[in-house]
Structure 1
Amino acid sequence: MSKTSFNSINKPFASTLRTRVNDYFKTRKLSNTGNRKLYIKSVILVCTAVGLYIALLSLSIPIWLSCLLCAVLGVAFAAIGFNIMHEGGHQSFSKKAWINNISAYTLNMLGGTIYFWKQKHNISHHTYTNVDGLDHDIDVKFMRMHADQPRQWFHRFQFAYWFVLYGISYIAWVLFQDFEKYFSGKMGRQAERKSMPLREHLIFWGTKVGYAAVYFVIPIVAVGWLPALIGWLIVGVSCGFCLAVVFQLAHVVEATQFPVADGESGKIEQEWMVHQLSTTANFATGSRTVSWLLGGLNFQVEHHLFPRISHVHYPAINKLVKATCKEFGVTYLEHRTMGHAFASHLRHIYRLGRG
C-alpha cells in the first residue's frame, strides 16, 4: 500500500460540503443512485450497440455507410462505458448490488477486465488523482502529461502524434495492457504485485476468448477477414478516442495541478477534497447532449468528490459544490465548452513537449 496520505487536520471545507450534500438527499428523500432516466438511457445505448452490430454483419450496406456506422458503434461502446459500466463500477447505478455488478461487467463484454479497472480507477486514480507514480491514468506511454515526468526527445512531437495514441488506446487496453497487468500482477510500473483469485483468472480468459469470438471470428465468417478487420479498427479507434479525450479534458489541462507528496512524511499538504478540486476540471456542464452521452463525466469535479453518487444528480450537486468553494475560497476549475477544454489540453501537452 502507498504511504502517501493527505492532510487530515482541520477539514472544515470537507465536513461542510458533505453535510450539505447529505442534507440535499435527506430532505428530498432521494436515493443517491441512478433513476428511471438512467435505466432508460442504458437500454437505448445497449440496443443501439446491438442493433448496429447485427446490421453491420447481416445487411448489405455501402462501404461508406458501413464505415460511418462502425464509427457510431465505437461511440456507442464508449457511451456504454461512461453511463453503465462506470456507474456500476462505482456502485452508483442502482441500490441493488447485483445490478451494479451486472452494469460493471459490461466492460468485460467490450473486451476489458472490470477486476483490473476497479483497482486502477477506483483505488489508484480516485484516491491519488494526478499524483505521479500513484495515479496510473496519467502514465501514458510516449506522452509527457506533467512537468515532473522526464522529458524525452520524442515528446517534442507529442502535439502532432497525440491523436494516434488516443485513438489506439482502447485497442491497446484490450489486446495488450490487460495482459500486461495479468502476467505482471501490477496495475502500473510502480505498483505492488497482487495475486488474483481463481475466479478472476477464469473470468479474464473467458472475457478474452469471448471478445475474440464476437469481434473477430463471427465478423470474419459473416463478411470476410478484410472488412471485419477494417470495421474492428474503426470501432476501436472511435471508442478509444472518445475514452481518452474525456479523461484528458478532466485532468490534463492547463489549470489542473499535479501535487507532489513531501519526501520524508509522504504527506500531501491539502485535504483530500481540496486536492480533488485542484486536480480536476469540469467542462460543458451547460450542454445536456454532452452530459447525456458522457454519463455526467463532464461534471468530473462532482464525480471525484462524490464517486458513489450517480451522475443524474450532478447538476444539483454542482450548485452546492460551487457555493461551498466560494464560501471557503477554494478554486473551482471549469471550462465553459468542450472546445475550450480541448484547446487547453492541446496547449498543455504542446508546452510540456517543448520544455
Structure 2
Amino acid sequence: MPLSGLKPVSSENYRIIYFFQDYHMSKISFQSNNKPFASTLRNRVNDYFKTHNISNTGNRKLYIKSLVLLITAVSLYLTLLFVSLPAWILCLLCVLLGVNFATIGFNIMHEGGHQSFSKKAWLNNISAYTLNMLGGTIYFWKQKHNISHHTYTNVDGLDHDIDIKFMRMHTEQPRKWFHRFQFAYWFVLYGISYIAWVLFQDFEKYFTGKMGVKADRKTMPVREHVIFWATKLGYAGVYLIIPILTVGWLPALLGWLIAGVSCGFCLAVVFQLAHVVEATQFPAADADTGKIEQEWMVHQLSTTANFATRSRIVSWLLGGLNFQVEHHLFPRISHVHYPAINQLVKKTCKEFNVAYIEHRTMGHAFLSHLRHIYQLGRG
C-alpha cells in the first residue's frame, strides 16, 4: 500500500503508518471484513474538516495555552529557587509545579508526540521533546504509547500501559495475595509513577531494549543514546543539583518529591479513568487465528471511556484527554477539535448500535475506577 495516498485524519491510516515503521509488531490482528461503521465515521470526520476548511492540527488557542503553561512552569521554578516564602506556600507551589508538568505533558508533549500539535513537523518535534525537558524519553514514549497502546488498547501483553507492577488491572492478569489490598495502596503507586518512570523505567527500557516484559528487544540508534544520557543528566542538574546548591539539600529533595508525586498522580489517574473503569473491556485474541473479534475502531470504543466532556476547565487542563474515545479513534487530530468530532462519533455509534462509554463527571469516572480495582483485588 503506498503511504502517500493515505487520508490525513484517518485513524486506520495512522495505525498503518506506524505499523510499517521499523518495528516488529505482534501477529495479533483485528477483523477487517465489512466495516461500514468505520468507513462512515471516517468519511464524516474528513467531511467536517473539508467543509469548514480547517486543519486537523492545533490552532492559535493551543499555541497560546502552550505558551502560558511553559511560562507558568518557569515562573514557578524560579520562584521556588529565589523567593523567600513561608514553608506551606512553598509546598503548595511545588504541588502546582507538579500539576503544571502534567498539563504540559497533556497539552504540548502529547500533541507533539502524535504529530497533531502543528502542520509543521519541526514544531511537532519541539513540542514532543518537552517530555525530555521533564526527564522522560520521547523515543521510548512513542514506541510504548503510539504503537503498543494505541494499536492494541487494553490487550494483555501488548498494551504495556496496563502492566503496572503490584496492580491487577483486569481479569486476564494473575491475582496475587497482595492484590487484595490494592484498593488501599493504589494512590502510593500512582503518586510515585512519574518518579519511577524517569529514574527507573526509562533505564530499564534502555538497558533491556524492551518496552515491556513481553516485548521484543529493539536496537537503539546512536543518536538516541546521546539524547537519552543528555536528558537524564539535564534532569538531574535542573531538578536536583541546582535546587540543592540554591536552597539546600533537604528543601530541594522535599520540593522535588512533592512536585514529582503531584505530577505522577495526575498522569496516572487520567490514564486509568480512560481505560480502566467498570465498563471498558480487555479483549483477547483467538488462540488459533490470532484475530481479535472486533474491527479496530469498534475495539477502541469498547476499551476506552470519556469523562467530564462538558467541563471546559477539565478539557483545558487535560488537553482534551477527557475526550479519550475521539483521541483513540483519530489520534492525529488535535484535541481542540474533539468537541465537534465527539458529536459525529456519538451520532455514528447510535446509527450502528455501537456502545459509547462515557462518565458525566470526573468524579463518577474515578469512583468507577476504584470499584473496578477493588473487585479485581477480591477475586
Equivalent of 2:249, from 225, 233, 247? 225
SS at match of 1:286: coil
Q: Separation in 1 of the partners of 2:305 and 2:70?
A: 29
Q: State the match for 1:211 in structure 2.
A: 235
Is 1:71 the counterpart of 2:95 in the alignment? yes
Is 1:196 the counterpart of 2:220 in the alignment? yes
Equivalent of 2:107, from 64, 74, 83? 83
Equivalent of 1:21, from 31, 45, 48? 45
Q: Separation in 1 of the partners of 2:190 and 2:125?
A: 28
Q: State the match for 1:185 in structure 2.
A: 209
Please list, as runs of the form range in 1=range in 2, the aligned pairs for 1:1-355 lying within 5 A after superposition.
1-355=25-379
**Cα drift, residue 292 of structure 1:** 0.1
**Cα drift, residue 200 of structure 1:** 0.1
**1:58-93 deviation digits (Å, cap 9, x = unpaired):** 000110000000000000000000000000000000
Q: State the match for 2:13 in structure 1.
A: none
Q: Separation in 2 of the partners of 1:337 and 1:61?
A: 36
SS at match of 2:62: helix
**1:141-187 deviation digits (Å, cap 9, x = unpaired):** 00000001000000000000000000000000000000000000000
State the one-letter code of the partner of 2:183. Answer: F
**1:34-59 deviation digits (Å, cap 9, x = unpaired):** 00000000000000000000000000
Q: Separation in 1 of the partners of 2:85 and 2:332?
A: 43
**1:236-277 deviation digits (Å, cap 9, x = unpaired):** 000000000000000000000000000011100100000000
Q: Separation in 1 of the partners of 2:334 and 2:240?
A: 34
Shift >2 Å, 4+ stretches: none
RMSD: 0.3
Q: Separation in 1 of the partners of 2:100 and 2:169?
A: 27
Which blocks of at least 5 consecutive residues in structure 1 are unaligned? Answer: none
Q: Identity of aligned pairs, percent?
A: 84
Q: Separation in 2 of the partners of 1:263 and 1:66?
A: 55
State the one-letter code of the partner of 1:347. Answer: R
**Cα drift, residue 280 of structure 1:** 0.1
SS at match of 1:189: coil
**1:93-121 deviation digits (Å, cap 9, x = unpaired):** 00000000000000000000000000000
State the one-letter code of the partner of 1:229. Answer: L
State the one-letter code of the partner of 2:284. Answer: V
Q: Separation in 1 of the partners of 2:165 and 2:32?
A: 34
**Cα drift, residue 228 of structure 1:** 0.2
